[in-house]
Amino acid sequence: AQSVTQPDIHITVSEGASLELRCNYSYGATPYLFWYVQSPGQGLQLLLKYFSGDTLVQGIKGFEAEFKRSQSSFNLRKPSVHWSDAAEYFCAVGAPGSGNTGKLIFGQGTTLQVKP
Amino acid sequence: DVKVTQSSRYLVKRTGEKVFLECVQDMDHENMFWYRQDPGLGLRLIYFSYDVKMKEKGDIPEGYSVSREKKERFSLILESASTNQTSMYLCASHGAVPPYEQYFGPGTRLTVT
């Protein structure tokens, strides 16, 4: 069965520091991969996605993520964090071949706190 | 721009009441989803629909039902609300082209007292 693990429940970084949020998945083939961000009291916003091609993908707000097949990982990175990046981040996995129902499996989320 | 709206941001209901949560998307998407979000548990799929009048159970359908009479609208129904249904409810939709990224509404924070 598919699963998604975000090992870090809570991360604190200083403003201006670099950031890496980890995501590991379990799936027999290359899945569709997503990162979403959720600000307090809001819905989820898509940051970036991967489904084929270049394994380094660029997203909105200066985020990028790298798909590493050998490690079953899709880690999210940002070179310099801004205070407005404080939010909850979700990694999600979809299964190609599941028809167009597009069901996603979400990780438990990582809460990012940014220190001034 | 893609838009998913939910009928209420905050809702307070009493135990035993029938509760309707409505979701509307303006993107002509075939697929729509209802999730509940609880701290430490991430998002869990309640029901989804891949066409008008079609529905499938997700991972936690107990205590919920859904209705999709029009393509743009997907309703979640709590037949008899209970306190353990206090949660954030999120609606999402996606279209017919891979990788089927989902677009989310702002959420409804439901409190059952």
Range A22-51 average pLDDT: 91
- In chain B, DSSP finds a helix count (H) and a strand count (E) of 0, 11
* Residue A37 pLDDT grade (very low, low, confident, very high; cuts 50, 70, 90): very high
Tokens 């394994």 sit at which residue?
Answer: A55
- Tell me if B90 and A44 make a contact (CB, 8 A cut-off): yes
Q: B79 to chain A nearest CA, in Å?
A: 25
Preferred mutation among A4, A9, A39, A101 to probe B, highest tally of B CBs within 10 A: A101
- B16-74 residue pLDDT tens: 999 999 999 999 999 999 999 998 888 999 999 998 989 999 999 999 999 999 999 99
- Inform me whether the C-beta atom of residue A43 falls under 8 Å from chain B C-beta atoms: yes
H or E element at residue A37: strand A32-38
Comparing A50-54, A57-61, A73-77, A79-83, the range with the smallest average pLDDT is A50-54
Which pLDDT belongs to residue A100?
54
What are the distances in angstroms from CA A74 to CA A30, A65, A82, A90? 11, 6, 22, 11
Nearest Cα residue in chain B from A94: B99
Tell me if A46 and B103 make a contact (CB, 8 A cut-off).
yes
Q: B80: distance to nearest CA of chain A, Å? A: 25
pLDDT at A19 over 90: yes
Range list of H helices, B1-113: none
Mean pLDDT over residues A63-84, rounded?
A: 96
- Find, in chain B, the residue whose alpha carbon is nearest to that of A52: B99
- Tell me the average pLDDT across A64-71: 95
Q: What percent of chain A is modeled with pLDDT above 70?
A: 95
DSSP conformation class of B62: T
The lowest-confidence range among A25-29, A31-35, A64-68, A74-78 is A25-29
Average pLDDT score over chain A:
91
pLDDT of residue A102: 72
Which residues in chain B have their CB less than 8 angstroms from residue A106's CB? 42-43
What pLDDT, in 10s, does the model give residues B94-113?
987 778 889 999 999 999 99
The C-alpha of A81 sits at a distance from chain B's nearest C-alpha, in angstroms, of 23
User: CA of A60 to nearest chain B CA: how many angstroms apart?
Assistant: 15
Q: Which contiguous run of DSSP H or E holds residue B82?
A: none
> Considering only CB atoms, which chain A residues are within 8 Å of B102?
44, 46, 102, 104
Identify the pLDDT of residue A103: 83
Taking an 8 Å cut-off on Cβ atoms, the answer to whether B102 and A42 are in contact is no
Q: What is the pLDDT at residue B41?
A: 87
Q: Is the CB of B42 less than 8 angstroms away from the CB of A104?
A: no
Q: Is residue A36 predicted with pLDDT exceeding 90?
A: yes
Mean pLDDT of A16-37: 92
Span A43-56, average pLDDT = 92
